[in-house]
């Protein structure tokens, strides 16, 4: 834990206590959340060091997750904190969310259940403020070929999104797919539009010989699986 200091400038600290030097010497795991955030900020604001500014930011948002998908209005109380620093923070958070997905895709993980997919995409989708559709393309052994963003919008635009999903699957030479999208409300309960969309997706998959294994709706740490609920069978 970094000791409180009367001098706010980090450059005046002993070298081993400076976040950047500490990271290079001991590794990122040795740093506190405030120290990691201070490295992204690089510098503080007038009269406030980067580490003190980082502490103030964490006090407001509590967690890194809460910092995601914010806008300028959420940061306005931090005087002197410009758009560049906010952009650095949000970019780092997005890299963290994508890390797990990239790692899984590269390793061609085999999918055996809806939860296998949910564990991959939940961190990235649960906090989004707009609906985003993704398609998980699978080979004949149910191993991931790719996870691709296909559209942003709502299921009221079902047919254009269905075409994009099937087109994506054909481009990736997928044998089967799992479609998923998030509910910004956090409640994964399917609407009538969700069910209509799922029916149209299954019908399009049958025509194009792409098997639709599931349609997942992602909420806040909860999800709905059309396959697990037995609804998908009725649409095929």
DSSP 3-state of 63: coil
132 to 6, 89, 123, 164: CA distances (angstroms): 47, 22, 13, 13
Helix orientation angle between 158-171 and 192-208, rounded to the nearest 10 degrees: 40
Tens-level pLDDT at each residue, the chain (236 residues): 444 444 456 777 777 778 889 899 889 888 899 999 999 998 888 888 899 999 999 999 988 888 887 888 899 899 888 889 999 998 988 887 777 666 555 556 889 999 999 998 998 888 888 888 999 999 999 999 999 888 776 655 545 688 989 999 999 999 999 999 999 899 999 999 999 999 999 999 999 999 999 999 999 999 999 999 999 887 76
Full set of structural domains in the chain with CATH: 10-97 (1.10.150), 109-234 (3.40.140.10)
- Is the separation of the CB atoms in 166 and 210 below 8 Å? yes
d(CA 222, CA 228): 14
């Amino acid at each position: 834990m970094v000791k409180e200091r009367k001098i706010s400038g980090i450059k005046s600290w002993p070298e081993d206590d400076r976040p950047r030097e500490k990271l290079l010497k001991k590794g990122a795991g040795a740093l506190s959340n405030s120290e990691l955030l201070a490295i992204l900020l690089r510098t503080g604001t007038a009269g406030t060091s980067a580490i003190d500014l980082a502490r103030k930011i964490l006090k407001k948002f509590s967690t890194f997750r809460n910092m995601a998908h914010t806008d300028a209005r959420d940061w306005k109380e931090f005087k002197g904190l410009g758009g560049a620093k906010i952009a650095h923070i949000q970019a780092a958070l997005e890299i963290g969310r994508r890390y797990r997905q990239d790692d899984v895709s590269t390793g061609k993980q085999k999918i055996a259940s809806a939860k296998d997919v949910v564990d991959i995409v939940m961190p990235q989708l649960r906090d989004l403020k707009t609906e985003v559709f993704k398609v998980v393309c699978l080979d004949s052994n149910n191993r991931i070929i790719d996870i691709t963003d296909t559209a942003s919008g709502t299921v009221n635009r079902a047919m254009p999104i269905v075409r994009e999903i099937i087109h994506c699957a054909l481009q990736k030479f997928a044998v089967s797919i799992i479609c998923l999208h998030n509910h910004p409300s956090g409640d994964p309960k399917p609407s009538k539009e969700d069910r209509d969309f799922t029916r149209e997706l299954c019908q399009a998959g049958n025509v194009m010989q792409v098997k639709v294994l599931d349609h997942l709706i992602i909420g806040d740490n909860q999800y709905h699986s059309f396959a697990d609920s037995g609804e998908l069978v009725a649409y095929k």
